[in-house]
Structure 1
């Protein structure tokens, strides 16, 4: 099988062939295996005369996953909202039609699709289509975006669904994907690989997400393009890391200041100047993100919104529900019921 398009390997070996995940001719098995990587979805064969020949290859790298997949038949895929990840799909061969966020993306070897987690999507995957994909955890993406902006996100990151791979704007993304696929192609899954290094894999994760944020238009592009705030002092970044690590604990402003090695007054002033927020609001925003992630992962028959909210320190459920809807565009019960 010869792969075509921007990311074709230099040699004869198919892309990511050294990281096989599954291969099946059973529709239900294909749906189950794909659901474990992405999310629950409906899957049906469009042309009943065709037979499924699905296969997937996947290389996880921290909060991202680099993969390749095909179905071998024309299929309709309906996952609703992805929920907790962003998905970039780049056909190596063939085409697919992606309906997303009011757009119709006719995706082929020159046009990729970028699916944001908070908007419904449906996909018509062509029988001859073989695609490279990048899966990025929503929490990881939003954390990197917050760090670049130097502040909090008041709404989810939502991308323009169509990515023109031949445009000058996207050349950095294309070059990065070529390099990354080549590096993965040289790995031995049974041996030690450079991408397994925590230091190197963290840099790769950051590079992939930063390149996507800079190359593909989204609702924070204008803010990212503007001159950002002055570089924050070390104690601000130290406090942010501490909050990220300890958000589940009953933190106080005094504890945060003590950890940062400054007075509470200096901590407040620093967050106001460099982050346009307060330390405790930053903590609240992080906890709200954690609630959202937990609700997405939980089942409504074993979990309640009240339990999750209380576990993350939100004791006033009325205020919590209002703040949650402002952040995520839906009620917490709607997220749990998905």
Structure 2
């Protein structure tokens, strides 16, 4: 599995022709690592050894995919936490040693997948020189957004600080990666359409989040959501029910008999976002449903106006960020009514 990842597309056409795909120069290899992963220190374990590196990379949305190896026994450490990135190492050949959360270490073998959030904990690895890795670089912020969208809260550091192996052998995760790489189009060096790219980004993040939490012993379905104060959960319900009326955060807080400041503090502590961000997401979700269910003759402007949108430019920008397409595209592509 992943044997042809970032080598050929779904039609068997070569990918990344004309790009730097290999190097025997440490300067080039280090520049690649700093750009694709984050600033780090890499040094050969055999004095004076030159790299025989594989350097291939493409992006799916904000996720960077890379087919990589140093080609000589190498230790990498001093990963820069300020980069805010999560690294997923999928070992395809040889072995790579990584730290675990209990202070031990693990040697990943072909078919093993390892995850670490370098923005939350330190990291190092030792490659045996015969290894080949298929890696993902994912912004921590993107994973937070995915958790909020699907589970209604942002996990705390009891998840993000877990360094672990979450998949082995022919896992569903590797099958998903294989599918994602086969969807790459050699003609455009990217996914076939912005909408497909957005959905693939979302699917990769969601599957990683699920596997990471499961191996950490965390239940995202009942996690911080049930621990949040009643007023936070009631505020979420009110926002869902009233999103089409375009309420303000102050309106919601007033209905609950609390201050907007208290509501904001509750959301930040138990949801990891502001109530304004949550309300904005609910309004956009409602707008999308209205566009998908629109009657003949209805327009984006008329539907948006009914839901309290005044600045259509700002609304469109937010909509595109959330769904990977414009409101007009959603309206145009809505299912035909029988």
State the TM-score, normalized to the length of structure 2.
0.62
1:164 equivalent to 2:167? Answer yes
Instruction: Describe the SS at the equivalent of 2:22.
Output: strand
What's the counterpart of residue 106 of structure 2?
105
Instruction: Describe the SS at the equivalent of 2:200.
Output: helix
Alignment of 1:1-338 (within 5 A): 6-9=1-4, 18-19=15-16, 20-48=19-47, 50-83=49-82, 84-101=84-101, 102-117=103-118, 118-155=120-157, 157-166=160-169, 171-184=171-184, 187-188=185-186, 190-191=187-188, 193=190, 195=191, 197-217=193-213, 222-226=218-222, 235-236=239-240, 260-261=246-247, 264-266=250-252, 278-279=263-264, 282=267, 285-286=272-273
CA distances 1:59-84 after superposition (whole Å, capped 9, x unpaired): 11122111111111111111345441
The separation in 1 between residues aligned to 2:5 and 2:59, in whole angstroms, is: 22
CA distances 1:207-258 after superposition (whole Å, capped 9, x unpaired): 001111112236986341438679956945998xxxxxxxxxxxxxxxxxx9
**Shift of residue 13, structure 1, vs aligned partner:** 5.2
CA distances 1:252-276 after superposition (whole Å, capped 9, x unpaired): xxxxxx9833683435658x9xxxx
Aligned residue pair count: 253
CA distances 1:80-137 after superposition (whole Å, capped 9, x unpaired): 4544111111111111111243231201103222112211111111211111011111
Unpaired segments of 5 or more residues in structure 2?
Answer: 227-232, 275-338
| Residues 268 and 160 (structure 1), Cα distance of their counterparts in 2 relative to 1, 3 Å cut | farther
State the TM-score, normalized to the length of structure 1.
0.62
**Shift of residue 153, structure 1, vs aligned partner:** 4.4
The separation in 1 between residues aligned to 2:199 and 2:65, in whole angstroms, is: 15
The separation in 2 between residues aligned to 1:152 and 1:223, in whole angstroms, is: 13
Instruction: Describe the SS at the equivalent of 1:216.
Output: helix
The separation in 2 between residues aligned to 1:23 and 1:76, in whole angstroms, is: 19
Instruction: Describe the SS at the equivalent of 1:278.
Output: helix
User: Does the 8 A contact of 1:16 with 1:58 survive in 2?
Assistant: no
| Residues 237 and 38 (structure 1), Cα distance of their counterparts in 2 relative to 1, 3 Å cut | farther
| Residues 263 and 75 (structure 1), Cα distance of their counterparts in 2 relative to 1, 3 Å cut | closer
The separation in 1 between residues aligned to 2:87 and 2:13, in whole angstroms, is: 18
CA distances 1:272-328 after superposition (whole Å, capped 9, x unpaired): 9xxxx82465479548xxxxxxxxxxxxxxxxxxxxxxxxxxxxxxxxxxxxxxxxx
**Shift of residue 53, structure 1, vs aligned partner:** 1.4
Unpaired segments of 5 or more residues in structure 1?
Answer: 1-5, 240-257, 288-338
What's the counterpart of residue 247 of structure 1?
none
What's the counterpart of residue 327 of structure 1?
none
**Shift of residue 150, structure 1, vs aligned partner:** 1.3
Which structure has the larger Rg?
2
The separation in 2 between residues aligned to 1:206 and 1:26, in whole angstroms, is: 36
User: Does the 8 A contact of 1:21 with 1:57 survive in 2?
Assistant: yes
The separation in 1 between residues aligned to 2:98 and 2:13, in whole angstroms, is: 24
User: Does the 8 A contact of 2:94 with 2:110 survive in 1?
Assistant: yes
| Residues 12 and 39 (structure 1), Cα distance of their counterparts in 2 relative to 1, 3 Å cut | closer
User: Does the 8 A contact of 1:91 with 1:112 survive in 2?
Assistant: yes
The separation in 2 between residues aligned to 1:52 and 1:120, in whole angstroms, is: 25
